[in-house]
Structure formats: structure tokens, C-alpha cells
A and B are shown apart, each in its own frame.
Chain A
């Protein structure tokens, strides 16, 4: 049959058209139910624990610690992004650094919050650097992730020059304009065009006082459409928390 030839030939059309029309993955209802069940179990255990004397003492401590600024201001939310032409919905939760008071009479260091795809990425902190990495990352692959560090007493321009100076001289570097935050600079650098060539996107964002947040997103060339897109979409949620 001639029309069957259309069906057959259609099978080999461009991948982008196949992905574009792919049924959107809906979030599993079971996951929500499991979440509810887990929450109910925690509430029940907590209620029982609070009936005891140590429980009552612990309650005060927990209320103080858990109700942090970031948890309060940035509740978890679902975000849909486009990855490789397909819509992917994920559960995002906020992480970051809260403003820190230095000495009495001086300004507090500003903080920040950023939403991360909590199913696929984790956040740790090491020596003042916020480190966001993929979970279950295949160890043989080049590093992918995002590092955020606060630099004090420096301008955006000076921080950008210092960051550029750290890029190896044989890398290709170009300005980028994809960042909409006021008083910020960004650039992109790559080590080559191989599938595993390192790519870095560096963002210098004024903290609104006398410092800069330096955000470095790194991935390898072949992961640009995967981790690259995911990390950039997370960075779009970056929010300054003023120190005052």
C-alpha cells in the first residue's frame, strides 16, 4: 500500500520532531501518595515523641532551627524546563546561604537562595563554597555541577578579570549575554570541541554591597543539552538575600 510508505518514511524523520511531539511525562501520582504517607508517618511519630520530657525540650530546638529564612521564604515548587526538546517537570527545593552578621555595627554579609532539582542534584558546602552536583553521577565522566562562592570587597569587573585569569590560555573564551541580573558579568569558556571537552560558564553577580557572588557552572561538551541546560535553569532562580 502506498500510504504505508508514508508511515515507514515518517519513522526516519528528524529526531527533533519526534521529541517535540513525545507525550509529556506527568508527575507520578504514586509519588505524591508516597510523600503524603511519609509525611503522615513523620507527624505521627513526632506527636508521640513530643509527649516525652526530652521531646518537649527538643521541640524548642527544632522550631528554632527548621524555620530558617530560606525554608520560609522559598518553599519547594515544581518547575518545568525544556531538556533536549522535551518538557521535564521536576520538584525543586531552595538551598543557599543565609545572611551572616559579622561584628556589631557592621553590615551583615548578604546571602542567596537558589532552587535545585532535588531529585537529581545535591548541595554541599565546603570552605564557604556551595557545591551543587548531580546524584548518581558516572565517575568516569568529566565533572558537571555548579559552585557558588561569595567574594568580599571586590567589584564585579575585578572579579571577572580574576576569574578569566584562572582560565587556561589555550581555552576559547567568549562573552555571554544570557544573564539578566543587574550589575553582573558573565563569560563562557571551553577547552575544545571533543565530546568530553570542558565547558565553563562563569557569572559574577554584585551582592548589592561591596562584594560579588561568583557562580561557576561546569560540564562537558556532550552534556551541554542535559546538565548544561538543567544547571542554567537552576541559576535562573538565583535570588540575593540582602544583609541588612
Chain B
């Protein structure tokens, strides 16, 4: 079923909306949750919470891209749950590795630099992503948005793991340079 039809079902308050969403995007949302949580049970709960949150958001919202809308909700819910577990010393999986990798992007602190708020940081990331080649951008997003393991990215894009790692390293360096050039800090 097309996205616009599914959205129409949500607006009509038809419970079939959730069935159709699960059918079309269930595995997509589950993959996002599982990459973060590495637990089938937790991932299934996050995906179910995604459906409930979507149900309560549509209406009034009418997302232009349903997949991205659902993906963002799943990612946020999964990261929230991940943080909760980390606080209880139960954190594991790709986010730990992704955070370690991204620590190299953080510019050295300088009191004269402007500290970006969240919206400004997102705008900067949009500019950064636009500046990357399609292949580099996809690798970056797969690693730090979807938290996919490097081996999976390499398999899906027909690249070697070392080429993916090299692409990610270059992109991280480019992001750090961009922040330094614009005189901003986190």
C-alpha cells in the first residue's frame, strides 16, 4: 500500500493503519531498533511504541516521507531506551562504538567559539551531508544514523570493510574541519 493511503487510514482513525504500517515498515523499524539495542524483545517493544506514537501523532501531522518519520521515532525511542540501560550499566552494541568514533569529530574547546544549539547543529550537519559524495554520505548515515555495523555497510554497498572505514574516517575529519572553520563548538 502506498504511504499516502496509509496516512489516510491514520487520519480516518482506522486500526488497519497500524497493520499496514507494520506490513510495510515493520522490518525497517525493527532493524533500526535492533542495531541500537541488540535485543529482540526490546526492539519489538520499541517498534510497537513507534506505532503507538505514530497513531497519536497522525493527525494532526501529515508526514511527507512516512519511512523517515517512522525511522526517526524508532531511532529516538531506541536511543532513549539505550540511555536508560547505559545508566544501569547495561549498555552495549553499535552506539558505544559509534560514539567512540565520533569523539574524533569534536573540535578542541576554545572559549571564543560559539556553542551551537541543537537546531544549529542539525543545520550544520545538513550542510555537511550535502557536501559529501553520495557514497560517502550513505556510509556515514548507515553508520551514525542507522548504527549499522561496518561489515553490513560493506556488504550492502559492495565495498570492502577497509574502504568503508576509510570513507567514514575522511567524513569525520571533514566534519571536524567544517566545525573548526565555522568557529563552532559542541
Q: Give A residues with C-beta under 8 Å from B.
A: 1-25, 84-86, 134, 136-138, 140-141, 222-223, 226-227
Contact = CB atoms under 8 A, between A and B. Distances in A.
Given A1-B99, A3-B99, A6-B144, A20 B138 contact: yes
Interface in B1-45: 1-5, 8-9, 12, 27-28, 31
B3 A7 contact: no
B141 interface: yes
Given A2-B106, A6-B105, A12 B122 contact: yes
Contacts of B175: 6
Contacts of B1: 136
Interface string B72-86: 100110010000000
Measured as residues with beta carbon below 8 angstroms from the partner, the interface class of chain B is 35 or more
B79 A9 contact: no
B8 A11 contact: no
A10 B186 CA distance: 13
A18 B68 contact: yes
28 contacts: A2-B103, A3-B99, A6-B102, A6-B144, A6-B175, A7-B99, A9-B121, A10-B122, A11-B72, A12-B72, A13-B126, A16-B65, A17-B126, A17-B137, A17-B141, A17-B145, A18-B65, A18-B141, A21-B145, A22-B71, A23-B148, A24-B156, A25-B27, A134-B2, A223-B4, A226-B3, A226-B4, A227-B2
A10 B125 contact: yes
A21 B67 contact: no
Interface of B: 1-5, 8-9, 12, 27-28, 31, 64-65, 67-69, 71-72, 75-76, 79, 95, 98-99, 102-103, 105-106, 118, 121-122, 125-126, 129, 134, 137-138, 140-142, 144-146, 148, 156, 175, 186
B133 to A, nearest CB: 12
Given A14-B129, A15-B65, A137 B5 contact: yes
Contacts of B148: 23
A34 B95 CA distance: 38
Contact of B8 (A23, A85, A86, A141): A141
Given A7-B102, A136-B1, A226-B3, A84 B67 contact: yes
Given A2-B186, A20-B134, A7 B126 contact: no
Contact of B28 (A1, A15, A23, A137): A23
A3 B106 contact: yes
A226 B64 contact: no
B102 A21 contact: no
A223 B121 contact: no
A4 B125 CA distance: 14
Contact of B99 (A4, A14, A21, A140): A4
Contacts of B65: 15-16, 18-19, 84-85
A7 B79 contact: yes
A13 B129 contact: yes
A140 B8 contact: yes
A5 B105 CA distance: 11
Nearest to A5: B186
Given A18-B68, A20-B138, A8 B2 contact: no
